[in-house]
Amino acid sequence: MSKRRVLMVAGYLPGYEGITSYLITLTKELLKNGWEVALVSDTATKDLNIPGRADLRTEWIESLGIRHFYVSFPKFRRGSVQGLTQDSFSIFQSLKKLNSAIVEFQPDVIHVHSLSVSLFVQILRIFHKVPCVVTCHQQPGTVWVRDKLGVLFSQYVNIFFGDRCIALSSTLQDYFINTMRVPKDKVRLIYSGVDSQHFRPPSQDERLEARKHYGLTSEEQVICLIGSLQERKGHEILLQALANLRTNGLNVTTLFAGVGIWKSYIQEKAVELGVADLIHWLGFTDSRQVLWASDIFVLPSWQEAFPLVIIEAMLCGVVTVRTPTSGSADQIQQNVNGFIFPFGDHETLALHLKELLESNTLKSQIADTALKLSQEKFTLNKMTQALINVYEEVTHDID
């Protein structure tokens, strides 16, 4: 029996984080499970001028053993006749290249990971008679709600959502069914999963080595924030909480891991708040090593879909404190396996951090509960098997 084939389609991969990390990890796991997988996407370009992102090319993706088809999907521009003409040409070119990828790879199922390119796939898959699964990797309100007409349109035209729609969180599941009017029997709730063999609690020696790598002592308590340096990640909120803690006599070493255009602003804000000496700027680095060196992980984001880094932290035995973005209710039970604080509320964040920093017993209890939950609900194997079931379900419908 020949191997089943799935073609992953994403509009744009900005670097090895978020959707890119998700896709590459999932693809590797599907390959292990006997599937043939190829990836269609645009990739990062040199004009980003952001270290750690500009090297994301077809050559790099294929060096991981993943077949890649490069398609530059159009970036639509409004209010310009010239832009409309250029976009029309780009649409034709994108459809042509995507069609070539489908013809060459001959997938049994297409899995779309960007709603912005879903219509391209829906047009072509009708001719190729290939079932389609769609996953949205963005939080409700950041994709469609900005354009009310778009929401209204989507309520009655579900072609964007394919044969099955994958919701990464219960928030997204509710949004698809009750706001977007996607038929309930087409929606599947499948949590994103993390490799629990790689992300695990460190041994004592591994923890000491990770701390040594970042110039930290074994005694100091360490907070970390892993994420791109951009406004929506909320670094400023954590800086304000650190300033609050310092006022109360707690000076906490904090690791910022990530790159982005907001670095200068965040650095200036750290100086302004009087906490610049507490911050270690790590740049693009190994997230597991950062977590192994840390006691508490903070994610003060304004927007997320289902942040994998929360799961990575829990699997590494690190207590997590986060905002109520999409996925928070699935990942965190308040005061049991972590903490959720209101958007922008640095005072509540500081209170949670103070409580954890002053009680090793509480910190250990929270971390142990989080580790057990993440191993039960959020592993890569569990996610992959659930997706394979959906792939087989839609291919069976076609057969």
Q: Residues 361-376: pLDDT tens digits?
A: 999 999 999 999 999 9
Token pair recorded at residue 230: 């951009």
d(CA 328, CA 305): 9
Question: To the nearest whole number, what is the mean pLDDT of the chain?
Answer: 87
**Mean of the pLDDT values across residues 108-137?**
90
Ranked by mean pLDDT, the top range of 152-156, 167-171, 227-231, 358-362 is: 358-362
Strand partners, 133: 111, 164
User: What is the C-alpha radius of gyration for the chain, rounded to an integer number of angstroms?
Assistant: 22
Judge whether 371 and 201 are in contact, CB under 8 Å. Answer: yes
**Strand order in 164-167's β-sheet?**
67-70, 36-43, 5-13, 109-112, 132-135, 164-167, 187-189
d(CA 391, CA 201): 33
What pLDDT is attached to residue 360? 95
d(CA 185, CA 246): 52
Confidence of residue 12 (pLDDT cuts 50, 70, 90): confident
How many separate helices (H) and strands (E) can be counted in the chain?
15, 13
What pLDDT is attached to residue 178? 84
Token pair recorded at residue 160: 């964007």
In tens, the pLDDT along 70-117 reads 898 876 544 444 444 456 768 888 899 999 999 999 999 999 998 888
Beta strands in 44-131 (DSSP E): 67-70, 109-112
**Mean of the pLDDT values across residues 257-277?**
96
Q: pTM, whole model, 2 decimals?
A: 0.86
Judge whether 297 and 310 are in contact, CB under 8 Å. Answer: yes
Map tokens 């959720």 to a residue. 340
Measuring CA to CA, how many Å separate 137 from each of 9, 120, 194, 308, 391? 13, 18, 15, 11, 18
Among residues 45, 39, 46, which one has the least CA distance to residue 61? 39
**Mean of the pLDDT values across residues 221-244?**
96
Confidence of residue 216 (pLDDT cuts 50, 70, 90): very high
**Mean of the pLDDT values across residues 215-244?**
96
Q: Dihedral of the CA atoms 15, 18, 23, 26 (nearest 10)?
A: 130
**Residue 330 pLDDT greater than 50, yes or no:** yes
Domains and CATH numbers, the chain: 5-193+379-398 (3.40.50.2000), 204-377 (3.40.50.2000)
Confidence of residue 241 (pLDDT cuts 50, 70, 90): very high
Give 296's contacts (C-beta < 8 A, 6+ positions apart): 221, 222, 223, 224, 318, 319, 320, 321, 353, 356, 357, 363
Angle at 238 between CA 202 and CA 146, to 5 degrees: 110
Judge whether 353 and 252 are in contact, CB under 8 Å. Answer: yes
Token pair recorded at residue 287: 């997230």
The DSSP 8-state label assigned to residue 115 in this structure reads G
- 242 burial via Cβ count (<10 Å: 0-12, 13-18, 19+): buried
Strand partners, 132: 110
